[in-house]
Structure 1
Amino acid sequence: MITTIIFDFGDVFINLDKPATEKELKKLGLPSINKELSDFNKLYEIGKITTSDFIDHYQKIIPNTRKEQIVYAWNAILKEFPEKRLDFIKKLSIEKKYKLLLLSNTNELHINWIQENISFYHDFKSCFDSFYLSYEINLRKPDSDIFQYVLEEHKLTPENTLFIDDTEENTLAAQRLGIKTWNNNPVTEDVTELFSIKSDLF
């Protein structure tokens, strides 16, 4: 029986355009996001690099760019947050049938954008028993440490826990720890359909 639901944020609640950031950076003159830069971005995502240092690094590798241009390109991935998903999580929160947790790979610039552009962000956040962002806890998916951290923090039984994420690499990592998963497809599925799509779990 599921007693805890752990939700991802991007492409579960807020819509993403994942190729958009690289497209915008290329417009500024970046050839591509190579492995070295991808690893650098991951360090920012776990809070090992400050936002100021992050922007400075991009300004060095893309000459003659302004801070605002880098921030705009970086946040281009973030799109709309359909309000029906807020209604869904609010209802779950009120019903109190499940412990509700959010577990997201995200960074300070993205959260700042969300706070400024999603008017109901604080209402959304208040629906969760705990709200884990990778840059605040210095851990990221799909590393097993982040799942172990959440399991231990809340004394969760993996087989009674459901993890929802649009990235298969992340759900596979959770499965290896015995956690039930839903690797949702953001194109064809919506988190609001959870109890019909995954009815076998409830």
Structure 2
Amino acid sequence: MIKNIIFDFGDVFINLDKTATYKELLKLGDFQITAVVKEVNDLYEMGQISTLEFIDAYQKVLPKASKQDLIQAWNAILLDFPLYRLNFLENLAKKQNYKLILLSNTNELHITWIKENISFYETFKSYFDEFYLSHEIYLRKPNTDIFEFVLEKNNIQSHQTIFIDDTKENTDSAAKLGIHTWNNNPKTEDITNLFTIKSDLF
């Protein structure tokens, strides 16, 4: 029996355009996603470098880009948050049948944009029993230690838990620990259909 639901944020609740940032960065100069760039991204996502250090690293790759250009490009991935998904979460929280946890790979710039542009962000956050952002807990998916952290911190059992994420690498990692998973396809599936699509677990 499922007692705990762990949700991803991007392309589960808020819509993303995962190609947008790369396209915008290309407009700022000769940009390539190198091993160094990936490392900078991961460090930033884990809160191991500051926003200033992150921007500085990108300006070394794109020296003609201003700080604001880079911030706008970086945030281009973020789209809208449909209200019906908030309503779904609200109804789920009111029933109090499950422990609700958010577990998101995110960073300071993205969450700042969300706070400024999604008017109901604090309401959304309030519906969760626990709310974990990678840059605040210094861990990131798909590393298994982030799932171990959530299980141990909340004293919950993996076999009583489902994790929903649009990235298969992340759900595969969680499944290794015995967590039930749903690797949702944001183009064809919606979080509001959770109890239909995963009816065998509920």
Paired amino acid for 2:144? S
Q: Distance in 2 between matches of 1:148 and 1:64?
A: 42
Per the alignment, residue 70 of structure 1 pairs with: 70
CA shift at 1:196, angstroms? Answer: 0.7
C-alpha distance in structure 2 between counterparts of 1:172 and 1:152, whole Å: 19
Partner of 2:180: 180
SS in 2 for 1:28: coil
Q: Within 1, Cα distance between the matches of 2:137 and 2:126?
A: 18
8 Å contact from structure 2 (residues 31, 62) kept in 1: no
Q: Aligned runs of 1:1-202 on 2, under 5 Å?
A: 1-202=1-202
Letter in 2 for 1:19: T
Aligned-partner Cα distance in 2 for 1:149–1:116: 29
Can you list the C-alpha shifts for 1:92-112, whole angstroms capped at 9, x where unaligned? 111100000000000000000
CA–CA distance in structure 1, aligned partners of residues 26 and 32 of structure 2? 7
- Indicate the SS of the match to 2:187: coil
CA–CA separation in structure 1 for the residues paired with 2:29 and 2:74: 14
Give the residue type in structure 1 aligned to 2:54: F
Question: Residue 183 of structure 1: CA displacement?
Answer: 0.4
Q: Give the TM-score taking structure 2 as reference length.
A: 0.99
Task: State how far apart, in whole Å, the 1-side matches of 2:83 and 2:57 are.
Answer: 36
Q: Specify the code of the residue in structure 2 equivalent to 1:77.
A: I
Q: Contact (CA 8 Å) 2:6, 2:101: kept in 1 or not?
A: yes
> CA offsets per residue over residues 13-45 of structure 1, 9 Å max, x none?
000000110110011003211122111100000
Structure 2, unaligned runs of 5 or more: none
Give the C-alpha shift of residue 59 in structure 1.
1.5
Q: Which amino acid aligns with 1:65?
A: A
Normalising by structure 1, we get a TM-score of: 0.99
Comparing 61-70 with 149-158, greater Cα deviation is found at: 61-70
For 1:30 and 1:125, the matched residues in 2 are separated by 38
2:196 partner amino acid: S
Render the CA deviation track for 1:112-154: whole Å, top value 9, x for unaligned.
0000000000000000000000000000000010000000001
Q: 1:17 to 1:102 in 2, by over 3 A?
A: same
Question: Conserved in 1, the CA contact under 8 Å of 2:40 and 2:57?
Answer: no
Q: Which amino acid aligns with 2:33?
A: I
Structure 2 contact 21–75 (Cα < 8 Å) conserved: yes
Q: Which stretches of structure 1, 4 residues or more, deviate above 2 A after TM superposition?
A: none
Counterpart amino acid of residue 10 in structure 1: G
| Percent identical | 62
